[in-house]
Structure 1
Amino acid sequence: MQQIEAVILDWAGTVVDFGSVAPTTIFVEALKQAYNFDISLAEARVPMGMGKWDHIKTLGQLPEVSARWQKQFGNVMTDDVVDEIYRTFMPLQKAKVAEHAKPIAGVLDTLARLKGQGIKIGSCSGYPREVMEILVPAAANYGYKPDCWVASDDIAAGSRPGPWMALQNVQQLGITNVANCIKFDDSAPGITEGLTAGMWTVGIAITGNSVGLTEQEWLNLSSAQQKIAKEKAYDTLYQAGAHYVVDSLADALPAVQSIQAARARNQRP
């Protein structure tokens, strides 16, 4: 019988950092520091899930951002400019990432249940290795210790939305069949990563980038506001191709059980 061998987890917004706050705020700060250029948090979130250099480049190509950039500087954002923003971004991100290393409520319990079923815990991130080398031990202090992790700049072929980080997990974990893996992610590029790697995919809605609020900000919303934000996040992730969408990784066990049942029938993603 086919059975789930591994889950491959994103980090910010999926396991740690409710609302995926750490990277987005730093993008805003980095552009302000490097070029005195303003972007909104909503704009900073649009390319979320990509490797951070690619994120900055894609951000500069967003029509409204590009138009403001050209009005302010007289030309488009070049790769040299992206390099400089990235150099500004990196120390800011490294200084902040450990502050957002605490696992989201209920996540560790879910992972313990999965491990108890013999399922391996893989992970990958849009963060580069020098950031991950700070985040990984900080999260370990809270009890999150995945069986492997892959950074966005570990793979020569590139990062999301390509499949390579997820497939590197497959190699490191010794997985026999990619259809026995589930990719969990709160961003569209991360869902595409799992799909192109041949895996089942589960979107993370409320705790992730699609809602984009801290836990306290989420709790401060009215029930009507929460309903609207949740529906929008679910729609975004299903449109990206997710097989299932859940509020949080803490709520993921029923989705895993459904996928396990599909594999028992020899169904593939």
Structure 2
Amino acid sequence: MTQIQLNAAIFDWAGTLVDFGSRAPLSAFMQVFADAGIAVTESETRAPMGTEKKEHIRRMLRDSRTQNCWQEKHGRPSNESDVEELYRQLAPVQLQEIDRHSRAVPGAAELFVELRQRGFKIGSTTGYSRSMIEGLLKSAADQGVEPDFAVAADEAAGARPGPAAALKNVIELEIPSVAQCVKVDDTAAGIMEGRNAGMWTVAVVLSGNALGLSLEAWQALEVDEAARRKAAAYRALEGCGAHYLIDDITRLEPVLVDINRRLALGERP
């Protein structure tokens, strides 16, 4: 078997490269549902995280408690017109929240330098639409986090957990084999996107949706509480299908070394 090595990394955005704790989508969804008279919890809001935002709304409305609240408030079950209206209301709120939460996670810029020194091509996918990420892409680039290519959720049919967005990166970046790609994400939907595309996958646990705390809130925890929260976050993602689970992207380098070792032995994702 011809020996191959990794030569591309495809990253998620919120909770992986920027917005420690993935706070922007959480805040936006909770506000839009509150405006519709439905008080949703953080856990209910986070459950579909990583999916395209309109699909995220659909899945939230499928939750039995949320649907019961909707019917009590509106006197009928929700329908697709309601999904469209909530999505319309979400867009401007989401843009505001993305602007507020666009700081790169610690180590992101340094990682991009290291990957390029390795000769990696760098792609990205997201649950955000193109209109939602334009400002984010510029802000991230200003912080030294600028991938070679980015695919938004509305630019790939069936994106997340489908493979379309990840595979568009493979095509655009001219990657010879999906086995030479590693997908890095903080949500189960994003990990399945990578798995369905035939890639190695790495779940970041503490910077994203599973922990759900801002960097400042995470750093402020007492040692015992931090250990409890960390263990719970790892448990939340242990069944997501990722080949590797790490705290955040600063821990990616040893994973790349191990994947190359496995590739050299003839293993494939």
TM-score bracket for this pair, using the shorter chain length: over 0.9
What is the alpha-carbon distance in structure 2 between the residues aligned to residue 19 and residue 178 of structure 1?
A: 29
The 1-side partners of 2:66 and 2:87 are apart by 17
Q: Does the CA contact (< 8 Å) of 2:38 and 2:66 recur in 1? A: no
Q: Deviations over 1:229-257 (max 9, x none)?
A: 21222222220111101101111111111
Output the aligned Cα RMSD: 1.1
Paired with 1:259 and 1:55, the residues of 2 have a C-alpha distance of 32
Match of 2:268 in 1: 268
* Larger displacement relative to structure 2 (99-108 or 10-19): 99-108
SS, match of residue 239 in structure 1: coil
> Distance in 2 between the 1:115 and 1:205 partners?
24
Q: Is the 8 A contact 1:188 1:236 kept in 2?
A: no
AA matched with 2:266: N
List per-residue Cα deviations over 1:128-174 (Å, max 9, x = no partner).
0101112111111111110100000001x222111111111101110
- In the alignment, residue 67 of structure 2 is paired with which amino acid? S
Give the C-alpha shift of residue 30 in structure 1.
1.1
Structure 1: stretches of 5+ with no match in the other structure: none
Deviation at 1:258, TM superposition (A): 0.6
State the SS of the aligned residue for 1:71: helix
Q: Which residue pairs with 1:40 in the alignment?
A: 41
Equivalent-residue separation in structure 2 for 1:96 and 1:235 (angstroms): 28
Determine helix, strand or coil for the equivalent of 1:103.
coil
Give the conservation status (yes or no) of the 8 Å contact 1:26–1:89: yes
Say whether the 8 Å CA contact 1:122–1:169 is kept in structure 2: yes
SS at match of 2:210: coil
**Which of 2, 5, 8 in structure 2 is aligned with 1:3?**
5
Instruction: List per-residue Cα deviations over 1:110-141 (Å, max 9, x = no partner).
Output: 22111100011110100001011121111111
Aligned to 1:97: 98
For residue 126 of structure 1, what is the aligned residue in structure 2?
127
Cα shift readout 1:159-212 (whole Å, capped 9, x = no counterpart): 211111111110111001001100000001011111111001000000000000
Distance in structure 2 (CA, Å) of the matches to 1:144 and 1:39 = 33
Q: Please tell me the residue identity of whatever aligns with 1:168.
A: K
Which of 21, 28, 31 pairs up with 2:30? Answer: 28
Q: Is the 8 A contact 2:204 2:249 kept in 1?
A: yes
Match of 1:173 in 2: 173
The one-letter amino acid of 2:48's match is: P
CA deviation digits over 1:58-114, x for unaligned, max 9? 011112211222222232221100111111100111123122222101122122111
Counterpart of 1:17 in structure 2 is 19
Q: Give the structure 1 partner of residue 225 of structure 2.
A: 225
TM-score, length-normalised on structure 2? 0.96
How many percent of aligned residue pairs carry the same amino acid? 39
Aligned to 2:69: 68
Secondary structure at the aligned position of 2:154 is classed as: coil
Contact 1:201 1:244 in 2 (8 A): yes
Name the SS for the 1:252 alignment partner: helix
Q: 1:218 Cα deviation (Å)?
A: 0.8
Alignment of 1:188-203 (within 5 A): 188-203=188-203
Partner of 1:77: 78
Deviations 1:7-32 (A, max 9, x none): 11000000000000011101011122
Cα offset, 1:221, TM superposition: 1.8
**After TM superposition, where is structure 1 displaced by more than 6 Å over at least 4 residues in a row?**
none
Query: What is the TM-score with the length of structure 1 in the denominator?
Result: 0.96
